[in-house]
Chain A
Amino acid sequence: EAQVTQNPRYLITVTGKKLTVTCSQNMNHEYMSWYRQDPGLGLRQIYYSMNVEVTDKGDVPEGYKVSRKEKRNFPLILESPSPNQTSLYFCASSFNREGGSEAFFGQGTRLTVV
């Protein structure tokens, strides 16, 4: 089954404690990205990757890091989480960067930073 898998689904952590949210896709997609969803703001892109070892900033990259060492995986790293990073996070992948295919989204990770 084609899917994007995020882990964990729920996470409560404390300010400053490094964490990683994993994302894996099994569709051999080149393009992957991370979004955060906040009330009244819709989804905003954090980082995206057009292929292995190619990543770039989205609209709200501050406080986040990513890496793309393998095509299937695109982890999101919060080196020192802060309460303003409390949000619902989605990983997405698509066949190409041209928008010609729909983005497949993971189930979401609800992060709370206290």
Chain B
Amino acid sequence: AQKVTQAQTEISVVEKEDVTLDCVYETRDTTYYLFWYKQPPSGELVFLIRRNSFDEQNEISGRYSWNFQKSTSSFNFTITASQVVDSAVYFCALYGGATNKLIFGTGTLLAVQP
């Protein structure tokens, strides 16, 4: 079975703090893809990153960074120097070739206070 767990339901930080959103996944596929999406208060879903199972290199994009560790089945997302505009619900998702579908975690609501 495929599963994505985002254990943190809500996180509240003060602006400029660093914050890490956890994502743990389960899959039996050897080839799979992991995603992060952002859902701001306006409701749309914004793609942030895709990572395939053969690429364990960490990625950095501005204040965003992602840490993919197959050994712990985790794909964590860190925001450095958080800003109020980062306030949103963040979803981690898994795509496995055997299922042809994107499995989402339950999301983490991040509130960045000024």
Q: Which residues of A contact B (CB under 8 A)?
A: 33, 35, 40-45, 48, 50, 56, 58-59, 88, 90, 92, 97-105, 107-108, 110
User: Are A104 and B97 in contact (CB-based, < 8 A)?
Assistant: no
B100 touches A56 (CB 8 A): yes
Q: State the majority secondary structure of interface residues on B.
A: strand
Point out residues on B near A: beta carbons under 8 Å.
Answer: 4, 6, 32-33, 35, 37, 43-45, 47, 50, 52, 91, 93, 95-97, 100-107
Asked if residues B91 and A43 are in contact (CB atoms below 8 Å), the reply is yes
Chain B residue numbers with a CB within 8 Å of A59 are 101
Q: Are B107 and A33 closer than 8 Å at their CB atoms?
A: no
A44/B33 in contact, CB under 8 A:
no
Q: Which of A45, A101, A102 contacts B101 (CB 8 A)?
A: A45
Q: Which residue of B lies closest to A58 (CB)?
A: B101
- A99 and B104: CB pair below 8 A? no
Question: What 5 pairs between A and B have smallest CB-CB spacing?
Answer: A99-B95, A99-B33, A105-B45, A42-B106, A43-B104
With A42-B91, A43-B104, A97-B100 known as contacts, the answer to whether A108 contacts B33 (CB < 8 A) is no
Q: Could you write out 7 A-B pairs with CB less than 8 Å apart?
A: A42-B4, A43-B102, A92-B102, A99-B32, A99-B50, A104-B47, A108-B44
Tell me the bound Cα distance from A51 to B61 in angstroms. Answer: 33
Task: Name the CB-closest residue of A to B43.
Answer: A108
Which residues of the partner chain B approach A42 to less than 8 Å between Cβ atoms? 4, 6, 91, 104-107
Which of these, B37, B44, B104, contacts A44 with CB under 8 Å? Answer: B104
Distance, CA A69 to CA B106, complexed state (A): 32
Contact B97 A99 (CB under 8 A): yes
Task: Give min CB distance, B25 to chain A, whole Å.
Answer: 13
When distances are taken between beta carbons in the complex, the residues of chain A under 8 Å from B100 are: 48, 50, 56, 97
User: How many Å lie between the Cα of A107 and that of B4 in the bound state?
Assistant: 23
Additional pairs, 9, CB under 8 Å, beyond known A90-B45, A107-B43: A42-B4, A43-B91, A43-B93, A44-B104, A45-B103, A48-B101, A99-B52, A100-B52, A102-B50
